[in-house]
A = this chain, B = another copy of it.
Amino acid sequence: MSVDIHPDRYCVHQVTLMEQCDFRAAVEALPRAGIGKTAVWRDKLDAVGVETGRKLLADHGVEAVALCVGGLFCHRAEREFRAALDANRRWLEQAAAIGAPSLIVITGGLADFERDLAGARARALEALGELADDAAATGVRLVLEPLHPMLCGNRSVIGTLGEANDCLDALDRDDVLALALDSYATWWDVELDAQIARAGARLRHFHVSDWLADTRDLRLDRGMPGDGLIDNRAIRRSLEATGFDGPVEVEIFSARDWWRRPADEVLATIVERYRTAL
């Protein structure tokens, strides 16, 4: 049996309430459910502005554990690549401004690399290397998140924790680079436990949701923990064996179900699943 998750570790990403709540409504709803942490999503933050966002978090006692999602720097053309790096520098500053210690980054997909997957991966590595000093300057770590291999074409050319570990080995900047583990992206991987152990203290974020047996969409059909096929509890055990004791972050993209329910119902369900499925 796993040890219960202390309520201090409850954390719900703003994207989990994407359709129901703007920034303010999300920040108001979380404490009502006993949830004190969130990951801020850039479009929500942009809609209110950084200063208002920072103040709303502070006023409601909600801690931002990360800003999502940065990266998206897989461009072959130098001009677009430079523009993407500059955007990430702004996002690092935004993260610092709202007190978030991490910017979660995904590489972006093949984009204009056509079929040159190795080239796109090299570009991702180059981008992380270039941004490391900016991360150090802002005091915000860059957290690389591998996505599910089904998103290789359009969201992330890094599809396993092993590959992400290889990137961090190559860059040797563990002072400012870290990793995020998303159970939905990685649950299928026979190497998962071994790569979690290898990552060790690099793993600073743990995202959870569930894989529905009748999944209908490649991005927007994630399930509530407990409703699908992922043994989230076993993954948590594996992660905690490395010493991890950070938040358990519920991140659900669900166009057909959870985005259509009242925010309080979604959050109450999550709190129940912290006890029964996570």
Chain A residues within CB distance 8 Å of chain B: 110, 114-117, 121, 148-150, 152-154, 157, 159-160, 163, 166, 187-190, 211-213, 215-216, 218, 228-231, 234
Contacts and interface: CB of A to CB of B under 8 A. Distances in A.
A248 B223 CA distance: 38
B188 A152 contact: yes
B153 A213 contact: yes
B218 A150 contact: yes
A232 to B, nearest CB: 9
Nearest to A212: B153
> Copy number in this complex?
2
Chain A facing B: main interface SS: loop
Given A116-B231, A149-B149, A149-B189, 14 more contacts: A110-B229, A114-B229, A115-B230, A117-B187, A117-B188, A117-B231, A148-B150, A150-B215, A152-B187, A152-B229, A153-B213, A166-B190, A215-B218, A218-B218
Contacts of A114: 229
Interface centre among A150, A212, A231 (most CB of B within 10 A): A150
A213 B153 CA distance: 6
Nearest to A210: B115
A153 B215 contact: yes
A150 B153 contact: no
